[in-house]
Amino acid sequence: MLIPHGWAKLISGSPAGLAQSLAKMGMEPAYALAVYVGTLELVGGAMLVAGLFTRVVAAQVIGFMAVAAFKVHWGAGFFWNKGGYEYPLFWGLMALAILIQGGGRLSLDARIGKEI
């Protein structure tokens, strides 16, 4: 689910819209953060699928999802269909599981023999 969201922010859309939302929440530098978030979702999502630098990417996803859950969605309550923090909490917990477990024996990390 990360990859299509990153694609929407960087390729089919523009980081400018997200940057405006981030600026309204007081998150600066908003445009740089929007580009980082889109890149993390698009490239980081692909890296998680491939199992490349799995733990490093998972740690960043955990941080990103924590900010999304608590800074962006917290006020709307729990349920995602009401704009709540359920979805980013779920993906943050999935990233935590990946951080703990690593990429596994089929990952690129295992193939190159370097799992950080």
Is the CA virtual torsion 22, 24, 87, 55 positive or negative?
positive
pLDDT above 80 (res 74): yes
pLDDT at res. 115: 77
pLDDT at 1: 87
The proportion of the chain whose per-residue pLDDT surpasses 90, expressed as a percent, equals 92
Rounded average pLDDT over 60-83: 96
Burial of 69 (0-12, 13-18, 19+ CB in 10 A): buried
Q: Map out the domains of the chain as residue ranges.
A: 1-50, 51-103
DSSP string, 10-44: HTSS-HHHHHHHHHHTT-SSHHHHHHHHHHIIIII
**Could you tell me the pLDDT band of residue 13, with boundaries at 50, 70 and 90?**
confident
DSSP characters over 89-114: HHHHHHHHHHHHH-S-TTSHHHHHT-
